[in-house]
Amino acid sequence: MKSLFRPDQIPDAAILDNHRPLLRSLERRNFLRGGLSLGALSLLTGCDTSRPEAIESALRAISDMNDGVQQLLFNPNKLAPEYPESMVLNPPKFNAKYDVMSVKPVDPATWKLELAGRIEQKKPWTLPEIAALPKKSMIIRHICVEGWDYIGQWSGVPLRAFLERVGADLSAKYVAFKTADDYPSSIDMATALHPQTLLALDYANAPLGDPFGFPLRLRMATKLGYKNPKWVTAIEVTNTYSGGYWEKRGFSWFAGL
């Protein structure tokens, strides 16, 4: 006998195809994806699966919930694995939202790191000033959302030490970044203060190469690759969510490992 709960109109199976990129962005939550069926979608969207915006906002809500859960689970003192120097890939792997020929090298003589938002001392920093700060080195795995990874040795100023030095409000919610290649990004304060979060200046004991973010990039051991902006030009400490380049295109914002 036909179930009394079976709707008269069954959703079009093409809906799942139309939203495949967004579904893929949920890949670290297989149990949720496993639970995502046409039936479940129709529950979430009040049965009206013919409206893509309704589906998108339902999927978005799941992704945002994932971000929230990851933030709750994040342990600010737990360290990501580190590796021996013999495993370091040199040069590192290039990746950006464009091919290498479009990289525009940054002139170190005119480069400045500008500061904004909830920071007491907003005077911009020059490269020699930043390079004179105490540095820390870490050999960590870079993991890309696309599925590849490599081990790299990054050195630079711990973001926590830098934020403390400039009098940033460490109780603010977000640290946002602007870059020379127009790749805005933002992270949660807990990750900004994590001991394996660096403003990286060096790779494998030499200054960063132009394609890898010279003179300064963010490097975190606890987040996916796309959360690490290169060619950073400005840092803002803020309570306002600003997302980021890929986040605006449906990628998860927290992106923890």
Partner 1 sequence: MSPTGALAQSREPGGMPPPDGMSLAQSAAMRFPQSVRVGDLIGRAVLQPVVTRRAYGTVKQVVRAADGTVNLIVDYGGFLGFGARPIAIPVDATVLVGVEIGVVAYKPEDLDKLPAFSEGGATPLPADSSIKVGLAKPFH
Structure tokens at 3: 């179930």
Q: Does 91 bind partner 1 (CB under 8 A)?
A: yes
The residue (of 111 and 226) whose beta carbon lies closer to partner 1 is 226
Out of 10, 98, 121, 123, the residue judged to bind partner 1 by CB under 8 A:
98
Nearest 5°: the CA angle 243, 249, 254 is 45
39 vs 250, which CB is nearer to partner 1? 250
Site for partner 1 contains 101 (CB under 8 A)? yes
Q: How far is the CB of 60 from partner 1 (least distance, A)?
A: 9
Residue 131: enclosing H or E segment and its boundaries? helix 127-131
- Which among 9-17, 31-39, 234-242, 245-253 is the span making contact with partner 1, rule CB under 8 A? 245-253
Q: Does 21 bind partner 1 (CB under 8 A)?
A: yes
Query: Under a CB-based contact definition with an 8 Å cutoff, are residues 226 and 145 in contact?
Result: yes
Instruction: Determine which residue in the list 51, 78, 97, 122 makes contact with partner 1, applying CB under 8 A.
Output: 97
Sign of the CA dihedral running 106, 207, 163, 219: positive
User: With CB under 8 A as the contact rule, which of the stretches 1-9, 38-46, 89-97, 233-241 interacts with partner 1?
Assistant: 89-97
How many alpha carbons fall within 13 Å on the CB side of residue 208? Answer: 27
Question: What is the edge-to-edge ordering of all strands in the sheet holding 114-117?
Answer: 114-117, 232-238, 174-179, 185-188
Among 162, 246, 253, 254, which residue sits at the site for partner 1 (rule: CB under 8 A)?
A: 246
Number of helices (H), then strands (E), in the chain:
8, 9
Binding site for partner 1 (CB under 8 A): 19, 21-22, 25, 56, 89-103, 144-148, 150, 209-211, 226, 246, 248-251
